[in-house]
């Protein structure tokens, strides 16, 4: 299927899934378009899927071991799991389900509640507000960027109900890591496209 790059407009050909005119899912990582640069034609640097370098903030391929910007070694998903499993105040879920719910906060304002479950019934949850443009931008950066099955699709939901109605656009993480803050757990990390094995991480803890 054709997936247009939002940066250069190139019509990329990626494997994916479409429902009507909407691209629900695609498996492209980087735009394949060629653009004119200072040293001639070069590949567009827009990435549909990426992991961010913790040192310089550069966007890297999800399989990269070193940052292309600063050459620092990128944190491996296995290492993240091993480190989290060693912490006494951490909860690590191997996600078997993701539930979306339209709810309200203590002041009656609408919120989107996202709950992650594992096979043993343990759960972690996070909440998002979508009333204002700033809140929707924060939701896009903190949630949609990683959860969209078709990244850079341009979908910008305006309410919790709209997110729930279009939840077929979303994917669940493989693992969620929470840290205890006071009496409750807050989600600190979510791992997608995980290629390792949870048993090895658990045995190393």
Tally Cβ neighbours within 10 Å of residue 150: 24
pLDDT at position 195, please? 55
Rounded to the nearest 5 degrees, what angle is found at the Cα of 48, between the Cα atoms of 175 and 200?
A: 25
pLDDT at position 199, please? 42
Cβ pair 5, 31 in contact under 8 A: yes
- Alpha-helix runs per DSSP H in 33-181: 77-85, 133-139, 145-147, 160-165
Residue 66 to residue 5: CA distance in whole angstroms = 25
pLDDT at position 37, please? 76
Below-70 pLDDT ranges, the chain? 195-205
pLDDT at position 78, please? 78
pTM exceeds 0.85 for this model = no
Can you give the residue ranges of every domain in the chain? 2-74, 78-204
Residue 127 to residue 19: CA distance in whole angstroms = 28
Tally Cβ neighbours within 10 Å of residue 26: 24
pLDDT at position 112, please? 98
């Amino acid at each position: 299927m054709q997936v247009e790059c939002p940066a250069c407009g190139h019509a990329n050909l990626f494997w994916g899934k479409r429902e009507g005119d909407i691209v629900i899912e695609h498996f492209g990582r980087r735009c394949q378009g060629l653009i004119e640069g200072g040293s001639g034609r070069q590949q567009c640097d827009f990435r549909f899927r990426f992991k961010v370098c913790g040192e310089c903030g550069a966007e890297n391929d999800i399989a990269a071991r070193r940052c292309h910007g600063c050459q620092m070694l990128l944190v491996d998903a296995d290492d993240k799991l091993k480190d989290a499993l060693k912490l006494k105040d951490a909860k690590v879920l191997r996600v078997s389900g993701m539930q979306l719910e339209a709810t309200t906060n203590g002041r009656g304002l609408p919120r989107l509640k996202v709950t992650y479950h594992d096979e043993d019934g343990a759960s972690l949850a996070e909440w998002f507000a979508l009333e204002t443009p700033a809140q929707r931008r924060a939701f896009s950066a903190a949630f949609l960027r990683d959860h969209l099955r078709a990244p850079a699709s341009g979908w910008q939901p305006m309410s919790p109900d709209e997110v729930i109605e279009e939840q077929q656009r979303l994917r669940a993480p493989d693992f969620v890591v929470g840290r205890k803050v006071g009496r409750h757990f807050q989600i600190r990390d979510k791992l997608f496209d995980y290629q390792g094995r949870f048993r090895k991480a658990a045995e190393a803890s």
